[in-house]
Copies of this chain bind each other. A is one copy, B any other.
Amino acid sequence: MLNFESDYTEGAHPKILENFVKTNFKQTSSYGYDNYSISAKQKIAQICNCPSAQIQFVCGGTQCNQIVIDSLLQSFEGVVCADTGHISCHEAGAIEYTGHKVLPLPNDNGKLVAADLQKYVQTFYGDQNHEHMVFPGMVYISHPTEYGTLYTFEELKALSAVCRNYKLPLYMDGARLGYGLASLNTDLDFEKIAGLVDVFSVGGTKVGAFCGEAIVFTKNNMPPHFDNFVKRHGALLAKSRLLGVQFDTLFTGDLYLQISRHAILMAEKLKNAFIEKKYPFFIDSPTNQQFVILPDNLMEELKKSVSFSFWEKYDDQHTVVRFATSWATTPEAVDQLIKLLPDCGN
């Protein structure tokens, strides 16, 4: 059975396991003050060219979004995002659980558009009833987006400008950041992102780690007593070395981007095969997730030998599905998958 269901079907990058073994019996401090965490934070700050970056590691993506958003919003504020945003659709109401409304705007290929944001905020303040409405308090984007698409440097700059104009912190959810930065055509990098956003996350779970997201505050804006805040949300890990060792490994040398590039190469290979075999794409994704529209009978046939993700019904006879590659995808598996794909054109 081939598995292209998601980018979290394998364990951790072997280098991480190696370092677990190597460091296992060293005694360390806990709750984020172990040497591995400290070292990892320095390396991430360095790759961002942001020496003042304030960093906290947490275990999961929803947890990360929940904590960042709850920590930056005033109680009367909500978080603006694309209507396809992960926080709006697939986090079981974790943001609302913190008492805050998610304020969805229309998406353009999964992305939030600066002009839409500008118009929304203007309309809000122009509405004479706005004191009875939820104030926009920050902006959430993900990169890559829920549909694998990417912001260009210009698009991100434009969003950042609107945010600054209205004093809205801009948060980038980077659960799959590696795959975004390793994409063939992106003009963004860690440093540019750190410059344009107020806080972003660097995803480990989907990019080589067992678990872990790094929350990076880039503007000396980590809220006071953030450890306590994180603990109160149930997210402060006692043995923080688990996260420290993983991120220290991923950010030693070029490992994080190097393994991301591999996933992109695998995805491109697969994408080219889809093109060649005339599979219609649901969206044009330059990253490790490929969304194609399958006739339902072909989908059922494929399911017998490959696992992939249901995304949504396209119409009565077609379904949108997702094929994901990762740092662990082998060229052999991609070749096997390609062989299994019949021509789809008519």
- On A, residues with C-beta under 8 Å from B are 3, 6, 8-12, 14, 17, 20-21, 23-30, 59-64, 66-67, 70-71, 74-76, 78, 89-94, 96-102, 123, 126-129, 131-135, 205-206, 210-211, 224-225, 227-229, 231-239, 241-242, 310, 312-313, 328
- In the complex, A171 Cα to B233 Cα: how many Å? 20
Contact residues in B for A98 (Cβ distance below 8 Å): 99
Please determine whether A20 and B30 come into contact, CB atoms closer than 8 angstroms: no
- In the complex, A23 Cα to B17 Cα: how many Å? 11
With beta carbons under 8 angstroms apart, the residue of B17, B63, B78, B236 that contacts A93 is B78
Contact residues in B for A30 (Cβ distance below 8 Å): 6, 8-9
Known: A99-B99, A131-B231. 15 other contacts (CB 8 A): A8-B30, A9-B27, A10-B26, A25-B328, A61-B238, A70-B75, A76-B225, A76-B229, A90-B132, A92-B232, A93-B100, A97-B232, A101-B102, A131-B225, A211-B238
Contact residues in B for A123 (Cβ distance below 8 Å): 313
- In the complex, A126 Cα to B310 Cα: how many Å? 11
With beta carbons under 8 angstroms apart, the residue of B11, B67, B100, B232 that contacts A24 is B11
Please determine whether A238 and B60 come into contact, CB atoms closer than 8 angstroms: yes
- In the complex, A224 Cα to B137 Cα: how many Å? 13
- In the complex, A237 Cα to B235 Cα: how many Å? 12
- In the complex, A203 Cα to B227 Cα: how many Å? 22
- In the complex, A236 Cα to B97 Cα: how many Å? 15
Q: Would you give the shortest CB distance from A202 to chain B, in whole angstroms? A: 15
Please determine whether A97 and B97 come into contact, CB atoms closer than 8 angstroms: no
Q: Would you give the shortest CB distance from A321 to chain B, in whole angstroms? A: 10
10 nearest CB pairs, A to B: A63-B234, A11-B24, A9-B27, A92-B231, A93-B134, A3-B27, A96-B101, A128-B310, A210-B242, A92-B232
Q: Would you give the shortest CB distance from A197 to chain B, in whole angstroms? A: 21
Q: Would you give the shortest CB distance from A215 to chain B, in whole angstroms? A: 13
Q: Would you give the shortest CB distance from A303 to chain B, in whole angstroms? A: 12
Given contacts A11-B20, A235-B63, contact A96 B75 (CB under 8 A): no
Please determine whether B211 and A239 come into contact, CB atoms closer than 8 angstroms: yes
Q: Which residue of chain B lies nearest to A71 when distances are taken between CB atoms in the complex?
A: B75
- In the complex, A23 Cα to B9 Cα: how many Å? 11
Given contacts A75-B70, A312-B127, contact A90 B239 (CB under 8 A): no
Contact residues in B for A67 (Cβ distance below 8 Å): 234
Contact residues in B for A233 (Cβ distance below 8 Å): 94, 97, 234
Q: Which residue of chain B lies nearest to A230 when distances are taken between CB atoms in the complex?
A: B92
What are 22 A-to-B residue pairs whose CB atoms are below 8 Å?
Answer: A3-B27, A10-B26, A11-B25, A17-B24, A25-B328, A59-B211, A60-B236, A60-B238, A62-B236, A70-B75, A75-B229, A90-B132, A93-B134, A94-B231, A96-B99, A96-B101, A97-B232, A127-B312, A129-B310, A132-B228, A206-B238, A211-B239
Most buried by B among A26, A66, A210, A225: A210
Please determine whether B211 and A237 come into contact, CB atoms closer than 8 angstroms: yes
Q: Which residue of chain B lies nearest to A76 when distances are taken between CB atoms in the complex?
A: B228
Please determine whether B101 and A99 come into contact, CB atoms closer than 8 angstroms: no
